Amino acid sequence: MAIAKVMGTEIEYGITVRNDRDFDPISSCVLLVNAYREDHAGTILWDYDQENPLADARGFQVDGEKYTPNQQENIARNKTLVNGARYYVDHAHPEYSCPEVTDPRALVVHEKAGERILELSRREANEVLPAGTQMLIYKNNSDRKGNSYGCHENYLMDRRTSFKQIVEHLMPFFVTRQIYTGAGKVGSENRAQPCDYQLTQRADFFETEVALDTMVKRPIINTRDEPHADREKYRRLHVIVGDSNMSEYTIFLRNGATALVLSMIEDGAIGRDLSLRDPVRSIKEVSHDPRCTKELELQSGKRMTAIQMQREYLEMALKYTSGQALDDSTQGVLERWGYVLDRLAGDPRDLGREIDWVIKLQLIESFMERKGLDWESPQVQMLDLQYHDLRPSKGLYYLLERQGKVERIVTDEEITRAITHPPEDTRAYFRGQCLRKYGSEVFGVNWDSISFGIGDEPIKRVLMAEPLKGSKAHVEELLERSPTAVELVKNIRA
């Protein structure tokens, strides 16, 4: 039986400072992250000792040196938040890693809370910038100068499932799911074939099938083996092939369908061979085809469109779930998956309320028609970028949302609450509540541990190797009878 698909996302945001001739992305990111303040007191380190980014899921350790910042740099670049999230500087980008959740609807809530947190930070950071300059943040994946930055999805998987099987069944799924997960993009990059408009912002940047790297020679399937949980039982599938989405509907379907396929892989429920002859070529062909009619060549010699291949996965998912009592999220994923594929097979433009790349395409085409512009116009490229602007008053996606022109999955009230409250059904609850209650005594944090500095005693590290433990049901009573961190540690060990 497949294990629960605990999931999360890590979003790298685009950043610039308008009218700053000496713009330094790293110092701007540090300013942005530190502009966000919460009530809990204390200087908290991110615990890099618990990380090993050089471990490869294929069973070996890659040569290289693990980067560990000094204490001052660690504090300047990292914030762990009371909602269980991590907010930090990753290379030259601000990054928001949402807390662990158990279903795609909760994922939408907490990813959207991340957008709000970035915008709150941006406003505070602008207060200290020189007059005439302005910091801008974009939830997109390319700076149009050849640089791509990621949206990484993470899913908890059973360690007993062979990585070979995961690759075999996921490769065709990842190549073709972009017909509903793409954020849309004007033009091409990275020496890809020229095009006016494509489905995704990331496809042009994938150059190999399977590898560990995330920044050069990007693979469709990433092999990082860093579970942030009990290594004997779990793996964390680190997915780098997706776009940063604005549409709640797209985010929900992106994570929901992927989690369902992963459960099917664990349970041996994928009985069809959909292997592609050339996945790297195919991922670009799908992205460059807004009509969704391009036929891809399979290893078997058959030719199928991305829609037809996704229908194969959906049919297997419907069969897989037919005897199960489904929760609302899973039922919602199946219904929306079928709805989207039906509309794509008819006229993709019928998804102008749901799917990012279609919403953006219609917006741009309408603008071009009104202004008499073509795809080469700088104004069209600017409109593409403006769709991802995090300013509520300027971002085009938010404008459509206020006008009721896009489908919602969650409410503004849920998103606002998630800015300051962790999910209640994962270990993120314990992490967030410890920061809220014992902030001045928390020394260091990682996804699977929290350490306390209690007086002159050695650092006390509490391990959280089970992502579904540390939930409100598990620890609420423990936290209530532990007014201090000293008593908390004592009660845990009792």
Q: Which residues are catalytic?
A: 90
Distance in angstroms (rounded) separating the CA atoms of residues 474 and 424: 10
- Closest alpha carbon to 178 in 239, 236, 93: 239
List the beta bridge partners of residue 305: 295
Residue in the block written with tokens 């709805």:
339
Write down the H helix ranges in 244-346: 248-266, 279-287, 306-321, 328-346
Distance of CA 402 to the CA centre of its chain: 24
Distance in angstroms (rounded) separating the CA atoms of residues 409 and 51: 34
* Kind of pairing between the strands at 185-186 and 295-297: unpaired
Tokens of 142: 């390319």
Q: Are residues 348 and 358 in contact, defined by beta-carbon separation less than 8 angstroms?
A: yes
Distance in angstroms (rounded) separating the CA atoms of residues 79 and 301: 51
Report the first-to-last Cα separation within the chain, whole angstroms: 33
Mapped onto helix, strand or coil, the DSSP state of residue 435 is helix
* H/E stretch holding 73: helix 71-77
- What 8-state DSSP symbol labels residue 143? -
Distance of CA 128 to the CA centre of its chain: 30
Q: Are residues 127 and 66 in contact, defined by beta-carbon separation less than 8 angstroms?
A: no
Q: Are residues 242 and 140 in contact, defined by beta-carbon separation less than 8 angstroms?
A: no
Complete edge-to-edge strand list for the sheet that includes strand 442-446: 45-46, 442-446, 449-452, 460-463
Distance in angstroms (rounded) separating the CA atoms of residues 38 and 48: 22
Q: Are residues 321 and 330 in contact, defined by beta-carbon separation less than 8 angstroms?
A: yes
How buried is residue 291: exposed, middle or buried, by Cβ count under 10 Å (0-12/13-18/19+)?
exposed
Residue type, 342: D
Handedness of CA 166, 172, 175, 178 (dihedral sign): negative
Q: Are residues 228 and 86 in contact, defined by beta-carbon separation less than 8 angstroms?
A: no
Tokens of 14: 């685009």
Distance in angstroms (rounded) separating the CA atoms of residues 80 and 191: 38
